[in-house]
Amino acid sequence: MRYLFPLFLILSCLLTLLTGCEPKEDLVQTSGSLEMGADTVLFDTVFTTIKTVTKRLWVYNRNSGAVKTNVSLKGTSGTTYSLIINGDAGAAVNGITIRGNDSLQVLVRAVLGDNGTAGLAKNFLVTDEVHFLTNGNDQNVKLVAYGQNAYFHRALIITGNRTEIWRSDKPHVIINSPYAQPTGPVDIGVYVESGSTLQIQPGAKIYCHAGATIQVNGTLRINAAFAPAAGDTTAAKAATVRFQGDRLEAYYADVPGQWGGIFFTSTSRNNVIRYTEIKNANFGASILNVQNSAPQPDLRLENVVMRNISGSNPSYVGTGLPPGGIVGVLGNITATNCLLTNCGEYAVLGYGGTFNLNFCTFANYTPSFRRETASLNFSNALEDAKGNSVKFPLVINLTNSIVWGNYENELYMENNADYLSTINIRNTLLRTKDYAAATNATDKPGLGAPGLFNLVAVADPLFKRTTLTSSRPDYRLQDTSPAKKRPLVGAPLPVDLLNLRRSQTQPSLGAYE
């Protein structure tokens, strides 16, 4: 033990004489440059005045020692772009140390101003560069944004018994903003008051910001007067009005629940939606007449596609109802030549009222999760303010259609014994086990009765492609489909969803001839 203390003193003295040691990767070297993770940061189709998503640019120091670098925007585009580096935001951040064999993440955002050309629908280009100066080495990464002017609607209130017309020369962007009401402020995108009309021209594009809604107390008319010649698919495609979210990156192309939807209240009348696509919302088109006002609000849908309709938490739109493509509460809804697909909860959800569904395809596949709700779900009962169940008349006319999906019972009619006399389901291909019998049973209408001409025992309608087999589904029918060349129920239709001519004697079921 007597030798340990002198040894400790000697070691302590040696340690005080040693110079401080620093890891090699922390020693700043005076030579060497950086390696860029990309030569260009691209923002594809950005609406003017709206902040873009944040893009990430990785910068690598492949040297064994640390380097110091100054990062700045060249500023050729004014204040369009901004940087965030290590929590510091601005056009320039100097003296950044990157350890040896380490990396730096540069966050880039953009807000594009209007380029000053009124009515311009085409994209314009805004460029800049991120400049890195490291040990005298000048390196640059290009910033490129394709901007597009648009009409912006923030808490737009259409009132005064007037008609507002949305042109198709520029896209329309809907953004919810607070709107003062006697009961307090509410977030509204577009609000059409009773007696007023919103009319949307053929070919218009409508992009909806997160949570954005369109509430119609008056009238909505989309392509109401559009009348293409039978067989002219080019004109029909060009005239199609499209609703979707405003996130235009490829990742969001088919993501549901990006915006609220279109809602019609008890005072809404004479609504028409034709040659329109509604996608990626919580709700497609919903009639909400909980007061059971008479006459009931009405909606006519013709040649309409609804896809990717769903939402895990749609309560912010204030309906209290689960998401759905067509949702009707004591309304009068007619849908013809319509396709509803990939609706996570319901393609059609009805509580009382009248549903006329003719030559429609309900192809409801949900490959990302197991759905246990029927695509078409009807009930004649609603709860009142005290929680009591109150029943109302319900009329279901489902003809010449296809109801299919990845659930074994894609049709459900609650309390159907109450309204059995107003159920008219004929000449329709149905995926159902509960209603497949040839005769009626307790609470189970026999939709397999021969005189109804329904197809309830077939294996598959044989769509060309579904979401289970392809990222590009196609719900037209294969040549061997059992839904081809069926007997006609009711009046013939001149064209199908694509505006192709229909057979007038033995048409195909569903939206496509």
Tell me the CATH number at 78.
Answer: 2.60.40.10
Residue ending a domain, among 101, 116, 148, is 148
| 77 domain residue, yes or no | yes
Reported as type and span, the H/E element at residue 5 is helix 4-17
Number of independent structural domains in the chain: 2
DSSP strands (E only) in 315-393: 324-336, 339-343, 348-358, 361-364, 376-379, 381-383, 389-391
| 5 domain residue, yes or no | no
| 503 domain residue, yes or no | no
Nearest to 150 by CA among 91, 205, 221: 205
Instruction: Answer whether 128's CB lies under 8 Å from 140's CB.
Output: no
C-alpha dist (Å) from residue 498 to 71, 233, 272, 338, 363: 53, 6, 18, 10, 17
Regarding whether 171 and 138 lie in a shared domain, the answer is no
Regarding whether 144 and 155 lie in a shared domain, the answer is no
Regarding whether 172 and 80 lie in a shared domain, the answer is no
- Tokens 């008890």 — which residue? 266
| 506 domain residue, yes or no | no
CA–CA dist 323, 334 (Å, integer): 19
The tokens for 345 are 């909860």
CA–CA dist 244, 111 (Å, integer): 21
Regarding whether 72 and 170 lie in a shared domain, the answer is no
| 486 domain residue, yes or no | no
DSSP string, 222-263: ESTT--PPTT-HHHHHHH-EEEEES--SGGGTT-S-SB-EEE
Q: Which parts of the chain have pLDDT scores under 70?
A: 1-25, 76-79, 114-123, 312-319, 367-369
Partners of 369 in the β-ladder: none
C-alpha dist (Å) from residue 418 to 154, 380, 424, 443: 45, 8, 14, 9
Regarding whether 129 and 84 lie in a shared domain, the answer is yes
Regarding whether 324 and 289 lie in a shared domain, the answer is yes
Instruction: Answer whether 34's CB lies under 8 Å from 71's CB.
Output: no
Predicted local distance difference test score (pLDDT) of residue 318: 57
**Is the preceding omega at residue 178 within 30 degrees of 0, hence cis?**
no
| 452 domain residue, yes or no | yes
Give Cβ neighbours of residue 312 (< 8 Å, ≥ 6 apart).
257
Regarding whether 55 and 201 lie in a shared domain, the answer is no
CA–CA dist 459, 464 (Å, integer): 15
CA–CA dist 335, 346 (Å, integer): 15
Predicted local distance difference test score (pLDDT) of residue 24: 64
Instruction: Answer whether 69's CB lies under 8 Å from 103's CB.
Output: no
The tokens for 287 are 């009639």
| Residue 352 identity | G
| Residue 233 identity | T
Predicted local distance difference test score (pLDDT) of residue 266: 95
b/e burial code for range 19-29 (CB count within 10 A of at least 16 → b): eeeeeeeeeee
DSSP strands (E only) in 48-170: 55-61, 67-73, 81-85, 88-90, 92-98, 102-110, 124-134, 137-148, 151-154, 156-158, 163-166
Regarding whether 155 and 141 lie in a shared domain, the answer is no
Residue ending a domain, among 148, 167, 202, is 148
Residue ending a domain, among 132, 148, 164, is 148
Residue 31 lies in domain: 24-148
| 12 domain residue, yes or no | no
Regarding whether 180 and 136 lie in a shared domain, the answer is no
Nearest to 282 by CA among 220, 328, 325, 248: 325
Nearest to 502 by CA among 300, 359, 377, 316: 359
| 2 domain residue, yes or no | no
Regarding whether 409 and 368 lie in a shared domain, the answer is yes
How do 137-148 and 361-364 pair as beta strands? unpaired
The 3-state DSSP class for residue 15 equals helix
Predicted local distance difference test score (pLDDT) of residue 144: 85
Regarding whether 156 and 135 lie in a shared domain, the answer is no
Regarding whether 302 and 166 lie in a shared domain, the answer is yes
